[in-house]
Amino acid sequence: MSHPHSAELLAALAQYDTPTICNALEAIDPALQYYGFNTDPLHCAYPHLGAIVGYARTGTIRSVQPSRWGDAQQKERRLQWYQYVDEGGPKPSIIVLQDLDGVRAGFGSFWGEVNSHVHRGLGAKGVVTNGSVRDLPVNASDFQMLAGSVMPSHGHVHVVDMNIPVTVAGMAVQPNDLIHADQHGAVVIPDAYAERIADAVATIAVRENRLIEAAKRSGFTWRDVAAAAQGNQDIH
């Protein structure tokens, strides 16, 4: 990412849901039909919060086995993580945290009441992780969570690394990538395309609305689909 986008642009992007962002990106760059978004399911803890937009703070965790570091080193590691969340790039941020425990990812949760409040206070809008979350009734009220699972324990959870490329639920993310996420999942918005999203959304909406309005009329048939869908490569 070359530079932070304006607060106005981020707010505008947050007005769209994530499928709309994906559609727009595909219209801008057809190659983005194949990558840049999660391809494994993620559980959204708070669908009512709507979309979040922010810059990725990336890291990796494990929880099945204890950390190889001693207590003092592990405490220092955790503080380094919080410093990175606070100072590691533009804000607002979205935490993108890869659980490295393979088929046991999510064994222990990094995310609960305390960490949701701490990270929200450090400027994060939410988290996207293939790991787990917990404490759902008492987490920070405006902190979104997309996770691979919901679990009761923290296990031996600890930060392994930070500020590195990660892959979460099939979505490859670089530090400071612009992320859009909601109840459907998450997607990376390439820096060069962020300001083109609105125009792409508007163009797609004209085509889609023509077909939707036709479908609402009495006597609608497949021939009406053919007429209304002229120029559309596909229907979603």
Residues 134 and 111: beta-carbon distance below 8 Å: yes
Domain ranges of the chain: 7-196, 198-228
Does the annotation place 62 within a ligand binding site? no
Is residue 234 over pLDDT 70?
no
Q: With bands split at pLDDT 50, 70 and 90, how would you rate the model's confidence at 188?
A: very high
- The answer, as to whether pTM is greater than 0.95, is no
Does the annotation place 104 within a ligand binding site? no
Strand pairing class (144-147; 124-129): parallel
DSSP bridge pairs for 133: 111, 150
CATH fold group of domain 7-196: Glucose Oxidase; domain 1 (3.50.30)
User: How far apart (Å, rounded) are the C-alpha atoms in residues 217 and 147?
Assistant: 41
pLDDT reported for residue 107: 98
Which tokens belong to 132?
A: 């787990």
Nearest CA to 112 out of 63, 39, 178 is that of: 63
pLDDT reported for residue 31: 96
Residues 97 and 105: beta-carbon distance below 8 Å: no
Q: How many C-beta atoms surround the C-beta of residue 28 within 10 A?
A: 16
